[in-house]
Amino acid sequence: MTTDTRGSRHWSGLAGAYADTFAHYCAGTIPAVLERTAVPGACDVLEVGAGTGLLSARLVETGVRLTATEPDADMLAIARDALPDGTNLIRAGLPELPFRTGLFDVVIANFVINHVGDPRAGVAELARVARPGGRVLFTVWPSGPTVQAELFARVLAEEGVTPPPSDMLPPHLDFERSPEGVAALCDDAGLADASVTEVAIRWRIHPDDFWRGIEAGIGVIGRTVQSQPDEARARLRASYDDLSRDLLDGDDLVFPATALLAEGEKA
C-alpha cells in the first residue's frame, strides 16, 4: 500500500511483484478491518492507499459506496482490473486528498501511515475527510524486526553483505511504533474514543515466490539483494534456501507477525 512521494518512490515498477507477494502479507489485517468497520450498505467509505485492491474488493462485497485512492499508476491498474466496473478509483494519496472536508462515513488506510513523510499530518488528513461522527481506521507495523527481516539478516551476514540503513524519518516527524505511540497519533488528529488493537497475522508463501519478491527489489532487503552482482545473488539465494527451512510448514514458509489497528471517531 503506497502513498506520498516518500513511500511511492520505493514502489515504482514493483506493482506486479508486490501483488504476488507482500500484498497478501498486508492483507492479513483485512478480516479485522472489516469486522471493526461493520458499516451498513448505504455508507460512503474511502480507502486511502488501496494498493492492488485486495481490501477494496472485500469492501465492495459488503455493499458500501466505495471510493479508493492509490498514487502508484501500476498498482492502480491492477486494482482496477480486480474491482467491478464503475468502482470509483482515483490516482491520489496523502498528504493531500482531493476531497472536501467531512465527506465520508468511514475512512480506512491499511499500512499507509508507516510510509508517509509526516505521519501526524497523514492521520489528520484521514480525519479531515471523515464526517463528524464518522470513523477512521488505520494499520501500522510496530517497531521491532519481523521474522522475515531476521531471516534475511542471517542470510546477508552469512555472505558478508551489509544492508543500507533504513529510511528513517527525522525525529520531529517520526512516532513511536507502539500501541501508545499510535494512540497518540489519533489524539493529535482529534479522534475521539480512540483504541489500538494488536492483530495477529500468519502469512503463508512459497519460498520461490517470496524470493521473487525480494529479488524484484521490494523493501530494504530487496534493494540490497538486487544491488548485488549475479554471483553474489546466487550465493544469497543458496543461503536463503538453507536458512529458511526452519520456517517451512509443508511447502510454504510461514511468517507470523503482529500489526496495530487504530480506530477512532471524528469529533
Torsions phi, psi for 89 (to 5 deg): -110, 130
Q: Is 220 part of any domain?
A: no
Q: How confident is the model at residue 8 (pLDDT cuts 50, 70, 90)?
A: low
Average pLDDT over residues 52-81: 96
Predicted pLDDT of residue 38:
76
Q: Is 117 part of any domain?
A: yes
- Quick: pLDDT tens for 17-41: 999 999 999 999 999 999 998 766 6
Q: Is 15 part of any domain?
A: yes
Q: How confident is the model at residue 96 (pLDDT cuts 50, 70, 90)?
A: very high
Q: Is 155 part of any domain?
A: no
- Quick: pLDDT tens for 184-199: 999 999 999 999 999 9
State the CATH number of the domain containing residue 137. Answer: 3.40.50.150
Strands of the chain, DSSP E:
44-48, 65-69, 88-90, 104-110, 130-140, 191-205, 248-249, 252-266
Residue 135 C-alpha cell reads as 470513523
Q: Please give the DSSP secondary-structure letter assigned to residue 110.
A: E
- Quick: pLDDT tens for 238-257: 999 999 999 999 999 999 99
Q: Is 102 part of any domain?
A: yes
Q: Is the pLDDT of residue 204 over 90?
A: yes
Q: Is 121 part of any domain?
A: yes
Q: Is the pLDDT of residue 179 over 80?
A: yes
Q: Is the pLDDT of residue 6 over 50?
A: no
Q: Is the pLDDT of residue 5 over 70?
A: no
> pLDDT higher for 185 or 219?
185
Residues near 124 by beta carbon (within 8 Å), at least 6 away in sequence:
188, 189, 190
Q: Is 94 part of any domain?
A: yes
Q: Is the pLDDT of residue 163 over 90?
A: no
Considering its fold, how many domains does the chain have in total?
A: 1
Residue 126 C-alpha cell reads as 484521514
User: What is the Cα–Cα distance from 71 to 66, expressed in whole angstroms?
Assistant: 17
Report the share of the chain in percent with pLDDT over 90. 89
> pLDDT higher for 96 or 7?
96
- The answer to whether the CB of 2 falls within 8 A of the CB of 75 is yes
Torsions phi, psi for 97 (to 5 deg): -90, 145
Please state, rounded to an integer, the average pLDDT across all residues of the chain: 94
Q: What is the pTM of this model?
A: 0.93
Average pLDDT over residues 80-93: 97
**Nearest-10 Cα torsion for 29, 32, 36, 40:** 90
Predicted pLDDT of residue 37:
87
Q: Is the pLDDT of residue 2 over 50?
A: no
Q: Domain containing 77: what range?
A: 5-144+167-202+257-266
User: What is the Cα–Cα distance from 214 to 34, expressed in whole angstroms?
Assistant: 29
Tell how far CA 241 is from the center of its chain: 26
Instruction: Count the helix, strand and coil residues of the chain and give each as a percent rounded to the nearest 5.
Output: 45, 25, 35
Report the share of the chain in percent with pLDDT over 70. 95
Predicted pLDDT of residue 27:
98
Q: Is 262 part of any domain?
A: yes
Tell me the residue type at 178: S
